[in-house]
Amino acid sequence: MKHIDIVHVLKQEPSLHEITVRGWVRSFRSNRFIALNDGSTINNIQCVVDFENFEEETLKNITTGAAIEVSGVLVESQGQGQNVEIQVSKVEVLGIADPEEVKLTILSPKRHSLEKLREQAHLRVRTNTFGAVMRLRSKLSFAVHEYFQKNGFYYMHTPIITGSDAEGAGEMFKVSALDTKNPPLDDHGNVNYKEDFFEKETNLTVSGQLEAETYAMGLGKVYTFGPTFRAENSNTSRHLAEFWMIEPEVAFNNLADNMDLAEDFIKYVIKYAIENCQDDLEFLENRLIQEDKSKPVAERQEMTLREKLHFVVDNNFKRVSYTEAIDILKNSKPNKKKKFNYIIEEWGADLQSEHERFLVEKHFKCPVILFDYPATIKAFYMRLNEDEKTVRAMDVLFPGIGEIVGGSQREERYDVLKKKMKDMDISEEELYWYLDLRKFGTCTHSGFGLGFERLVLFVTGMGNIRDVIPYPRSPGNAEF
């Protein structure tokens, strides 16, 4: 008999028709009550066994972590916590789990720290917390594609291996097929990359933006959604060496259009999660509420998880210039009383997460889009304003997280872009193709980048970015 996902079984009415479910045992109490989960929902189905009708050997193998198939009729539940349960007529153990070995893993029923769960990342998706997080990640991923496809964007795959550094930061993972112990050298004693596979230095991409711009110039509206890599030695709860980026690029869009797109897009995907992941969000919200109880009052969250999500969906994003934001921060109480870790003293300062969160959570009390940043702290491709001091950049700031989106109107003027590249020591030869866009039918165009894990972090309420990606890559960690 074909098995049914538990998420669908739990929505059914009691019936005399026999059904079959498969999953992993969460618990087996009193040789009678099996809590079974198949990953399709946070909720277990209770399967009731009349142990007198089953062989002792079969019952002995129904242990925590074991994979089993259960057949029986769906009846009204006699216990609390569920509407229906399965009256078991047949059970088959598909894969055993030795109880002594299970005790040594995170599959054991006791509570485990998130650090412990990271050590066994291959098993952590079987826990309630990570099952909920990864289902939400999947739904958010679908919502990203649905939004862009509904709005006439074309999905493009930008290269993973590239010869350019879109950010100009130089923190890249090198790609080479040369013998690392004995590489060929040139006349100056340097590694001769002309003998390498690509006949030049190459690296893993830090962004697909530049290539996406080329396609926006032919298809109008495009987006990328793929892995990007930063060899940044940041061992923090907010950084990953491998992460997924969402990057739309739109021809003929100016900065205001770009802000409209970012706000509309973010609201769409978060609303999708609210409407389609209610059980998982409720579980994660309750988890955070319990966690908060052990913290000092000053460190507790002001909003519950779902209140925070509605805070974004239900409020218009406040648009504020960088200059206005600096004035607000300079005159703020935390700055005057030196409560900020980074004191704002003058225009031109690079804003930190604490400043961004102050603007969102304390001052404006809504999501904020900052725009027109100093040119000196932003990338070469951002359009220079008439004041020649600022660029048409924008950052979207969220509660609890700070910057979640960074974008800009791109510099479409050939001469200006060429001068900016020279001033920032960016090779014109390497990026000749990028400059070409400004020679053949140049136009106003804009785009932004959103780190997908930052979005998942916000929606799930998790505190560490390593807990919202299946197998995190960070300094010293490339296991699994």
Q: Tell me, yes or no, whether 132 and 279 share the same domain.
A: yes
List phi, psi (to 5°) of 407: -160, -175
3-state secondary structure string across 40-81? CCCCCEEEECCHHHCCHHHHHCCCCCCEEEEEEEEEECCCCC
- φ and ψ at 174, to 5 degrees? -75, 145
The pLDDT of residue 225 is 98
Q: What is the pLDDT of residue 322?
A: 98
Looking at the fold, whether 75 and 167 belong to one and the same domain comes out as no
Residue 165 confidence (pLDDT): 66
pLDDT for res 79: 78
121 inside domain: no
Pairing state between β 67-76 and 84-95: antiparallel
Asked whether residue 42 falls in the same domain as residue 141, the answer is no
Indicate if the alpha-carbon torsion angle 211, 213, 217, 220 is positive or negative: positive
How far lies 392's CA from each of 55, 258, 389, 409, in Å? Answer: 72, 10, 10, 6
Here the CATH number for the domain that contains residue 460 is 3.30.930.10
Domain boundary among 105, 138, 163: 105
What is the number of domains present in the chain? 2
The tokens 């296991």 sit on which residue? 479
Indicate if 334 and 449 belong to the same structural domain. yes
Q: Does residue 252 share a domain with residue 161? A: yes
Instruction: Classify residue 475: in a domain, yes or no.
Output: no
23 and 83 part of one domain: yes
Which DSSP letter does residue 297 get?
G
Q: What is the pLDDT along the chain (480 residues), one digit of tens a residue?
A: 699 999 999 999 999 899 999 999 999 999 999 999 999 999 999 999 998 899 999 999 999 999 999 999 999 998 788 899 999 999 999 999 999 999 999 999 888 999 999 999 999 999 999 999 999 999 999 999 999 999 999 999 999 999 876 665 568 999 999 999 999 999 999 999 999 999 999 999 999 999 999 999 999 999 999 999 999 888 788 889 999 999 999 999 999 999 999 999 999 999 999 999 999 999 999 999 999 998 888 888 889 999 999 999 999 999 999 999 999 999 999 999 999 999 999 999 999 999 999 999 999 999 999 999 999 999 999 999 999 999 999 999 998 888 999 999 999 999 999 999 999 988 898 899 999 999 999 999 999 999 999 999 999 999 999 999 999 999 998 989
DSSP 3-state assignment of 21? strand
CATH of residue 67's domain is 2.40.50.140
Please, what's the largest Cα pairwise distance for the chain? 85
pTM of the model: 0.94
| Same structural domain, 287 and 359 | yes
The predicted pLDDT at position 47 comes to 97
Contact 304, 461 (CB under 8 A): no
Q: Assess if residue 200 is contained within a domain.
A: no
Return the beta strands (E) in 333-460 as ranges. Answer: 368-374, 390-398, 402-409, 445-451
91 within some domain: yes
Instruction: Identify the pLDDT of residue 166.
Output: 63
How far is 226 from 242, CA to CA, in rounded Å?
Answer: 10
Q: Are residues 338 and 262 in the same domain?
A: yes
Query: From start to end of 231-349, where are the E strands?
Result: 242-251, 318-321
Do 15 and 141 reside in the same domain of the chain?
Answer: no
Is residue 283 one of the residues assigned to a domain? yes
Q: Are 395 and 382 in contact (CB under 8 A)?
A: no
CB 54, CB 92: distance < 8 Å: no
State whether 90 and 150 are in the same domain. Answer: no
Strand partners, 391: 373, 384
Between CA 99 and CA 39 the distance in angstroms is 21
Q: What are phi and psi of 318, to 5 degrees?
A: -80, 130
Instruction: Measure the CA–CA gap between 44 and 28, rounded to whole angstroms.
Output: 12
Same domain, yes or no, for 141 and 272?
A: yes
Domain housing 270:
128-171+206-467
pLDDT of residue 170: 60
- Gap between the Cα atoms of 363 and 345, Å rounded: 19
Q: Is the Cβ–Cβ distance between 323 and 347 less than 8 Å?
A: yes
